[in-house]
């Protein structure tokens, strides 16, 4: 479950459309933090 997202310099770069054709709408904030609510079978690296 994603609780927060954050913007970084890459998001600002795309927002300012540097070196590219602007494409809007866009979803920014690819750095996320949250809670692991469940995992699939065989997953051992994280746990709810």
Tens digit of pLDDT for each residue in 1-48? 999 988 888 888 877 877 677 777 777 777 889 999 999 999 999 888
Domain extents in the chain: 2-34
How close are the terminal C-alpha atoms of the chain, in Å?
A: 11
DSSP assignment string, 20-48: S----S-----EEEE------TT--S---
Of the candidates 26, 20, 48, 25, the residue with the CA atom closest to the CA atom of residue 36:
48
pLDDT attached to residue 11: 81
14 backbone dihedrals φ, ψ, rounded to 5°: -70, -35
């Amino acid at each position: 479950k994603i609780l927060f997202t954050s913007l970084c310099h890459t998001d600002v770069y795309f927002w300012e459309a540097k070196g590219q054709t602007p494409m809007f709408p866009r979803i920014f904030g690819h750095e996320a933090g949250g809670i692991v609510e469940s995992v699939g079978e065989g997953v051992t690296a994280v746990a709810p």
